[in-house]
Amino acid sequence: MSLQRAMAIAASGLTAQRTRMEVVSSNLANARTTRTPEGGPYRRREPVFAAQPFDITFDDVVGRGLRSVRLVTVTRDPTTLPLRYEPGHPDADERGFVAYPNVDPVREMVDMLSATRSYEANVTLVRSVREMLQSALQILA
Amino acid sequence: MDQLSGIQGIGKVLPLVDEVAGRAAGSGSGFAETLERAIDAVDALQHESEAAQHAYARNEDVDLHDVLIKVEEAEVAFKTMMEIRNKLVEAYREVMRMGA
Amino acid sequence: MNSNPVDATVEALRVTLGRASRRAEVAASNLANVDTPGYRSLAVEFDDLLSPRAELEPRLTHPFHRSRSADRRVRGTLLEAPVTRMRNDGNSVDLDREMTTLGMTQGRYRTAAELLRKRFALLVYTATDGRAGV
């Protein structure tokens, strides 16, 4: 069961990293969005993940200690929105300032690289476990 | 003689084998007892193999390699038992050929 | 631990496969949570080696005995891995270490499986006077 459990846990990791990439993409795509349907400029989004007990029914200590990962929520980054003085801008306030998204493209790219690397690591694990299962069949050869 | 094929056949032959085992040269290991032990072991291992396969099919908490090892162990035991059985049959035939 | 293993070598290799399997699932847990805040990297430890009998030079004994223990699962102790790096959010997963360990784990598993194949082939060969196996 161990190898199958490993696969399932890795699957949760792939999903989590995929979500991270999607959130980063959204942030990058809306880095200059000053008007959103909810009103106001786009706010940077950030996924929140938590470790999740995989299966507490397994009656062994190792099994109970394993963790998959799940998305808890996608929060809005509360840091102050940068203001720029652009009096002619359609979204300028009465003093001529425009509020821009609190998205730093450099930081987003770093996050994207991190998510990609983590995703690849989980892929490698899936591949390794699959090869282990295949080599187990060698016993019968 | 088709009594000699199959395990049940061997069971009928066993009383004779005690005599044969005593007389046949170089059979110090005692084929009869060895075969009997072999059959018991094959039976036990066969049950374990099947139980493991069922557990795997029911997606119970069993490792794949453990299942495969049990399957292989049962098979090795079976082949060993068949070999002992074949030797037994051969020894019996040899004795019969000696004239009785 | 089996008190009456079918064959000492088979048992030793079986335990090797079991341990590698446990290591793989711990690796999965760590890699899935490589970016989870507060997650501490896990490791698994096993009781010190196999019984000395398993390490005896393998003899081609009768390839089976009769009594066998019911529970064959390889068990270990789960603990926190030694910390080699720690992020601000409390996550201590060392990605490079995990990938390296994973490579070794997979290698051991594959090797043990292959050795098992050869061991069974040898047992059959011996039992059938060279007519089958190998």
Q: What is the DSSP letter of C7?
A: -
Task: Identify the CA nearest to A76 among candidates A27, A124, A139.
Answer: A27
Confidence (pLDDT) at A112: 98
Instruction: Please give the tally of structural domains in chain B.
Output: 1
Judge residue C72's burial from the number of C-beta atoms within 10 Å of its C-beta, 0-12 exposed, 13-18 middle, 19 or more buried: buried
Range of the domain at B9: 2-97
Instruction: Please give the tally of structural domains in chain A.
Output: 1
Q: Which residues of A touch B62 (CB under 8 A)?
A: 1
Q: Which amino acid is at B8?
A: Q
What ipTM did this prediction achieve? 0.90
Chains touching B (3+ CB pairs < 8 Å):
A, C
> Which residues of chain B have a Cβ shorter than 8 Å from any chain C Cβ?
37-38, 40-42, 44-45, 48, 61, 63, 65-66, 69, 72-73, 75-77, 79-80, 83
The dihedrals phi and psi of A51, each to the nearest 5 degrees, come to -75, 145
Contact B29, B87 (CB under 8 A): no
The sign one gets for the Cα dihedral A109, C41, A49, A4 is positive
Range of the domain at A105: 2-140
Confidence (pLDDT) at C25: 94
> Which residues of chain C have a Cβ shorter than 8 Å from any chain A Cβ?
17-18, 20-22, 24-29, 31-39, 42, 44, 73, 75-78, 95, 98-99, 102-103, 105-106, 109-110, 113-114, 116-117, 120
First to last CA, chain B: 16
Q: What is the pTM of this model?
A: 0.81
Q: Which helix (H) or strand (E) holds C20?
A: helix C8-32
- 3-state SS, chain A, equals CHHHHHHHHHHHHHHHHHHHHHHHHHHHHCCCCCCCCCCCCCCCEEEEEEEEECCCCCCCHHHHHCEEEEEEEEEECCCCCCEEECCCCCCCCCCCEEECCCCCHHHHHHHHHHHHHHHHHHHHHHHHHHHHHHHHHHHHC
Nearest-CA residue of chain B relative to C130? B83
Q: Which of A23-27, C9-13, C24-28, C129-133 has the lowest mean pLDDT?
A: C129-133
3-state secondary structure of B89: helix
Contact B68 A140 (CB under 8 A): yes
Q: Which residues of C touch A17 (CB under 8 A)?
A: 35
List, in order, residues 6 or more apart from A4 with CB less than 8 Å away: B64
d(CA C55, CA C132): 27
The dihedrals phi and psi of C42, each to the nearest 5 degrees, come to -100, 155
3-state secondary structure of C50: coil
Upper half-sphere CA count for residue C121 (Cβ side, 13 Å): 12
Q: Which residues of B touch A58 (CB under 8 A)?
A: 61
Chains touching A (3+ CB pairs < 8 Å):
B, C
Contact B64 A58 (CB under 8 A): no
Residue B69 has a CB neighbour count (10 Å cut-off) of: 26
Confidence (pLDDT) at C62: 43
Domain ranges of chain C: 8-55+74-107
Q: Which whole-number Å values give the CA distances from B18 to A13, B25, B37, B89, C79, in the listed order?
A: 65, 13, 14, 13, 59
Task: Identify the CA nearest to C64 among candidates B73, A54, B99, A123.
Answer: B73
First to last CA, chain C: 29
Q: Which residues of C touch B75 (CB under 8 A)?
A: 124
pLDDT tens, position by position, B8-43? 444 444 444 444 444 444 444 566 777 787 788 889
Confidence (pLDDT) at B3: 36
Contact A34, A135 (CB under 8 A): no
Confidence (pLDDT) at C73: 72
Contact A62, A5 (CB under 8 A): no
d(CA B65, CA C15): 10
Task: Look up residue B20 and give its two tokens.
Answer: 């044969």
pLDDT tens, position by position, A11-48? 999 999 999 999 999 999 999 999 999 889 999 999 99
d(CA C8, CA C11): 5
Contact B47, C53 (CB under 8 A): no
Residue linked to tokens 């000395």:
C52
Provide the number of CB pairs (under 8 Å) joining chain A to chain B: 23
Upper half-sphere CA count for residue B17 (Cβ side, 13 Å): 24
B44-68 average pLDDT score: 91
Contact A125 C110 (CB under 8 A): no
Band (B2; pLDDT cuts 50, 70, 90) = very low
Q: Which residues of C touch B38 (CB under 8 A)?
A: 64
